[in-house]
């Protein structure tokens, strides 16, 4: 009669099972950390892109308004103030029987939004809700040159991803 060896039964020992489980837990934690980092990086990039797109839009609109204006209207302009307003005399979008009209670019400090107001139309926002405008400052360099300082940041307070970004430029009337 052949002898049977009871030690030939194979399987995992308790130690081996704990080692495998530990390795899986470590790998799982590393994968979760990587995906969390990737999602946060994507949110930061999207946030920064929204701020840059808004700054580009604001500067294009302000530049067009200034270039198409005849003069700066000083009585209603708020210069050298972080909550600035620039009033421009223009011949664009003239009301009936008028020789000139006024366009105002201003920061609403309550909504942190930049608006363009044309004399014959309602205010419209030139920044969107993705960003918060912290500063819009107009400084008169001379009668035909304006320095603009603009500070924007992501308005999503849940992310708290970045600090405000500030731009400065000088634009001349034509």
Range of the domain at 123: 36-172
DSSP 66-85: HHTEEEE-TTT-B-SSSB-E
Mean predicted confidence (pLDDT) in 75-93: 91
Quote the pTM value. 0.78
**Is 30 a domain residue?**
no
**Is 9 a domain residue?**
no
**Is 29 a domain residue?**
no
**Is 8 a domain residue?**
no
Number of domains in the chain: 1
**Is 10 a domain residue?**
no
**Is 19 a domain residue?**
no
Q: What is the pLDDT of residues 16-64, one digit of tens each?
A: 889 999 999 999 999 999 999 999 888 888 888 888 999 999 999 999 9
| Cα-Cα-Cα-Cα dihedral sign, residues 30, 33, 39, 40 | negative
Q: What is the pLDDT of residues 107-124, one digit of tens each?
A: 999 999 999 998 878 899
**Is 31 a domain residue?**
no
**Is 16 a domain residue?**
no
């Amino acid at each position: 009669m052949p002898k049977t060896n009871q030690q030939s039964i194979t399987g995992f020992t308790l130690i081996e099972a704990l080692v495998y489980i530990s390795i899986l837990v470590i790998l799982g934690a590393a994968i979760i950390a990587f995906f969390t980092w990737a999602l946060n990086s994507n949110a930061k990039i999207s946030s920064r892109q929204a701020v840059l797109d808004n700054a580009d839009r604001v500067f294009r609109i302000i530049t067009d308004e200034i270039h198409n204006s005849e003069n700066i209207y000083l009585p209603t302009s708020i210069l050298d103030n972080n909550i600035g307003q620039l009033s421009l005399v223009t011949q664009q979008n003239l009301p009936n029987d008028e020789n000139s009209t006024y366009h105002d670019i201003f920061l609403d400090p309550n909504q942190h939004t930049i608006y363009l107001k044309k004399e014959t139309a309602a205010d419209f926002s030139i920044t969107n809700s993705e960003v918060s405008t912290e500063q819009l400052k107009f400084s008169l360099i001379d009668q035909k040159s304006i320095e603009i300082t603009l500070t924007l940041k992501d308005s999503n307070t849940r992310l708290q991803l970045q600090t405000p970004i500030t731009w400065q430029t000088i634009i001349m009337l034509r």
